[in-house]
Structure 1
Amino acid sequence: MEGFKALGLSYKNAPIEVREQVAFSEAESAELLMKLKEMFSLEEALLVSTCNRTELYYSSNDIEDTDILALISSFKAIPSNKLANYFQSYSSAEASKHLFNVALGLESQVLGDIQISNQVKRAYQQCADLNLAGPHLHRLMHTIFYANKRVVQETRLQDGTASVASVAADLIGGFIDNINSPRIALIGLGEIGQNVLENLGGNKASITLVNRTKSKAIRLAEGTDIAVSDYSDLDKVIAENDVIISAVSTSSPIISSRNFDGGLVHKLLIDLSVPRSINNNVEVVPGLSLYNVDQLTERTHKARKAREKAIPAVRNIIEEELNNFTSWKNEMGVSPTIQRLKSALDQIRKDELARHKKLTDKEVELLEVVTKSMIQKVIKLPVLQLKAACKRGEAETLVGVLNDLFNLEAAEVEKK
């Protein structure tokens, strides 16, 4: 198994102005992964791109961080020297542990954020669809998903109101409290947009949905009092509503100060997009309030304190499952030795049977059964000892002993 590595940036070391430049849509993610596959012959690669991070996980001993960074820079048309200081690299077990921490919400801006688990699952599905998930990555991801299930069942890491979507809903609730017949427009109905919609349930406002794919908005509004508008009527929607929530995936802002050139307005704008979909220049408009992802996250600190108490239990789960994964990986490393040992013993068995030419068919059949059973019993203890040595980190020594005792490497060469 080639070295497992990770390279990426997050909100911890990169401001939103940098993160939005290297955010990848689903289509862009697929394109970048295919370029990596073609250029570097990668067999395993996973790209996680959210509003808070862009991280690439891959298996290779030959690729340097500078190679990956150069490709990302070229793809996004950004000089690599403007990104280098923000990207951090991880190797081997450190990379695996980091992916555990990310997927389980320990690295999220909103501690325990449930959205990140789904985002990582989608990233995994994408790399699997592109044939970029080998045995190592498949096993790692399923171990992470099992660990996440344990975190949900055994800890309180995800308890309370701590997601950006729920905080946005709380902010909106306070804003519309003193407005008669308040109106809310939700633009963009991806996962984050849908999460906001779920959190808006029960408030007194009328809600309008706007989505590039109108059929999706119609489906979500079905059976409710929620209205649906065409994306082409965006300017009209912005003018008519008191609260504008934008969760659109876009490379440039779709809302700017030009939408509010009628003087004083009393509106709340919430930008949940990365890259940002609302231009900062709206802040010069009198009476208008704008919040972006980073600002909303600051409001989650109270819930974070409650969730922080669960961190030790979550770390214990990660350690246990990471150890299980490492044991599996080590066992996979000694699997060729086990197979060579089985082949060597089976060849001895066959050679011995071949010496006895006068056996009847019935006798040969009986001896086949008996000798195969003997080989299974003989090999059982060495296999168990090898697996135990894997867990102790001593497999290499035992592999060497078995190779010497049974001359396995020479036998493998002769076989070829």
Structure 2
Amino acid sequence: MTHPFKAVGLSYKTAPLAIRELIALDEPACRRFLDTLHQELGLSDLLVLSTCNRTEIYYASDRDQSPAIIEALGNLKGVADMVAYYEYFNLYNTADKAAQHLFEVAMGLDAQVVGDLQIANQVKMAYQWSADADAAGPFLHRIMHSVFFTNKRVQQETSFRDGAASTSYAAVELVEELTTDFASPRVLVVGLGEIGADVCRHLTNNKSFADVTICNRTRSKAELLAEECEGLKVIDFENLAEALQDADVVISSIARDTPYFTAEMVSRLEVLSYKFFIDLSVPRSIEPEVEEVPGILLYNIDAIQGRASEALERRLAAVPHVRAIIGESIAGLDEWSREMMVSPVIQKIKGALEQLRQEELDRYQKKVSAEEAKRLDDVTKSLMQKILKQHVLQLKAACKRDDADQMIDVLNDLFDLERQQATA
């Protein structure tokens, strides 16, 4: 690919959570960073993508600007010694590598949960911020629209997005199925370890769940999650009994050696129809005998992971098809990039031909009638278009053969384009 498109960034594959947290950017910070890179470093075709799993910057420049970008990121985040973190960053210093990585990220091939739909929306949002900042050039516009089209093909033509491929996704998908007949299901999440917190994030991203309550022994942890995920209600652990009574679905990921929810405890609840308990803990935090309580339906981690494993197998089986679709999109992008390289030459040829045409017309304008002048203008213009079309086709064919440079040199000599440009 002939464009100077590049990328630099880190992800969950290269950096631990503590490092990712250190440089993660929220929307206002992303917008400020875009402005800094665009205005102060003079970079174009900018895309700043920052999620819980990655912070990546895509840009166009003839030389590697990753040290300056990383330093600017450190300045924005107040990190004094960014050199110490260079080892966590990956560099993609050719357009082919940067474009391939962007496609794989946007499709979910590079996600922790293979086929994750959320990342596609995050990429789309990042592109919007870039467009708002006037930092998206022709190449970024082209590659992003190609990404969106590819994403649509992956969705329609493969099973890459089928089902829930993580335990937390699968748990939320199960809750959605169980509560189909509920107008506004009341969900209670107890225990906010990694999986419990992840479930809460997915619940808040799902419009079906507007009434979600969270409870953790350490209330401050629950409050931090509530700040991150808008709409979550926090209760103290001491008030758990009341919340259990109100909930339609109870999701437990409490970490302890013995079950917290016992059959004796659950039997004290007044269950008018059904109440669902979902146990995501290992060891189990809900006693198996709870299912014997009338009106209680219990699902354990094996049932959830079984759903996730089946979905993951389907997604992994679809990966070759997804990569083939990406390959087709990148080939199209490559062809467009090469044609863009010869576009200035085409404009120069057009200018040179038009100049010759006008010079010849001027020689005869005074010797012919207005009607004849009009006819001459039409005939010479049509002839010029036919000549130009032939050279454009030859240039595009040369692009596909990867020898456009030689063709450009020939056309430069043939039409004396350097002189034409100098006298223009």
Q: Same fold (TM over 0.5)?
A: yes
In structure 1, the partner of 2:278 is none
Deviation at 1:22, TM superposition (A): 1.8
Q: What is the CA–CA distance in structure 1 between the aligned matches of 2:24 and 2:139, rounded to whole Å?
A: 26
Change (3 A) 1:323 1:145: same
Deviation at 1:305, TM superposition (A): 2.5
The one of 371, 378, 394 aligned to 1:362: 371
| Paired AA for residue 319 in structure 1 | G
Q: What is the CA–CA distance in structure 1 between the aligned matches of 2:261 and 2:18, rounded to whole Å?
A: 27
SS of the equivalent of 1:398 reads helix
Corresponding position: 1:95 with 2:105: no
Query: Rg larger in 1 or in 2?
Result: 2
| Paired AA for residue 66 in structure 1 | P
The one of 341, 345, 349 aligned to 1:333: 341
Corresponding position: 1:384 with 2:393: yes
SS of the equivalent of 2:88 reads coil
Q: What is the CA–CA distance in structure 1 between the aligned matches of 2:173 and 2:377, rounded to whole Å?
A: 74
- Asked if structure 1 preserves the Cα contact closer than 8 Å seen for 2:172 and 2:199, the reply is no
- Asked if structure 2 preserves the Cα contact closer than 8 Å seen for 1:9 and 1:86, the reply is yes
Corresponding position: 1:110 with 2:120: no
Deviation at 1:303, TM superposition (A): 2.8
TM-score (norm 1): 0.73
Q: What is the CA–CA distance in structure 2 between the aligned matches of 1:166 and 1:189, rounded to whole Å?
A: 7
SS of the equivalent of 1:44 reads strand
* Cα displacement string for residues 246-268 of structure 1 (whole angstroms, at most 9, x for unaligned residues): 9xxxxxxxxxx9xxxxxx9769x
Deviation at 1:385, TM superposition (A): 1.3
TM-score (norm 2): 0.72
The one of 135, 139, 146 aligned to 1:136: 139
Deviation at 1:406, TM superposition (A): 1.0
SS of the equivalent of 1:106 reads coil
* Cα displacement string for residues 57-116 of structure 1 (whole angstroms, at most 9, x for unaligned residues): 111224532111112222223331332111000022110111011101111111111111
Question: CA-atom RMSD, angstroms?
Answer: 3.7
Q: What is the CA–CA distance in structure 2 between the aligned matches of 1:301 and 1:77, rounded to whole Å?
A: 41
Deviation at 1:168, TM superposition (A): 4.4
Corresponding position: 1:194 with 2:195: no
In structure 2, the partner of 1:51 is 52
Q: What is the CA–CA distance in structure 2 between the aligned matches of 1:373 and 1:384, rounded to whole Å?
A: 17
Deviation at 1:165, TM superposition (A): 4.9
In structure 1, the partner of 2:312 is 304
Corresponding position: 1:184 with 2:188: yes
In structure 1, the partner of 2:123 is 120
| Paired AA for residue 333 in structure 2 | F
In structure 2, the partner of 1:251 is none
In structure 1, the partner of 2:36 is 35
Q: What is the CA–CA distance in structure 2 between the aligned matches of 1:354 and 1:111, rounded to whole Å?
A: 67
- Asked if structure 1 preserves the Cα contact closer than 8 Å seen for 2:49 and 2:126, the reply is yes
Q: What is the CA–CA distance in structure 2 between the aligned matches of 1:238 and 1:145, rounded to whole Å?
A: 48
| Paired AA for residue 409 in structure 1 | E
Q: What is the CA–CA distance in structure 2 between the aligned matches of 1:236 and 1:43, rounded to whole Å?
A: 50
Change (3 A) 1:13 1:302: farther
Corresponding position: 1:401 with 2:404: no
Q: What is the CA–CA distance in structure 1 between the aligned matches of 2:74 and 2:305, rounded to whole Å?
A: 28
* Cα displacement string for residues 381-404 of structure 1 (whole angstroms, at most 9, x for unaligned residues): 110111121122111111111111
Q: What is the CA–CA distance in structure 2 between the aligned matches of 1:322 and 1:338, rounded to whole Å?
A: 24
In structure 2, the partner of 1:254 is none
Q: What is the CA–CA distance in structure 1 between the aligned matches of 2:306 and 2:12, rounded to whole Å?
A: 12
* Cα displacement string for residues 286-316 of structure 1 (whole angstroms, at most 9, x for unaligned residues): x79xxxxxxx999955532221111111111
The one of 318, 333, 340 aligned to 2:326: 318
Change (3 A) 1:130 1:238: farther
- Asked if structure 1 preserves the Cα contact closer than 8 Å seen for 2:24 and 2:51, the reply is yes
| Paired AA for residue 115 in structure 2 | G
| Paired AA for residue 383 in structure 2 | M
Corresponding position: 1:343 with 2:344: no
Q: What is the CA–CA distance in structure 2 between the aligned matches of 1:411 and 1:313, rounded to whole Å?
A: 49
Q: State the identity %.
A: 40
| Paired AA for residue 387 in structure 2 | V
Deviation at 1:133, TM superposition (A): 0.6
Q: What is the CA–CA distance in structure 2 between the aligned matches of 1:58 and 1:334, rounded to whole Å?
A: 22
Q: What is the CA–CA distance in structure 2 between the aligned matches of 1:84 and 1:152, rounded to whole Å?
A: 36
SS of the equivalent of 1:355 reads helix
Q: What is the CA–CA distance in structure 2 between the aligned matches of 1:361 and 1:237, rounded to whole Å?
A: 94
Deviation at 1:146, TM superposition (A): 0.6
| Paired AA for residue 353 in structure 2 | L
Change (3 A) 1:110 1:139: same
Q: How many residues align?
A: 348
| Paired AA for residue 184 in structure 1 | L
In structure 2, the partner of 1:252 is none
Q: What is the CA–CA distance in structure 2 between the aligned matches of 1:49 and 1:297, rounded to whole Å?
A: 29
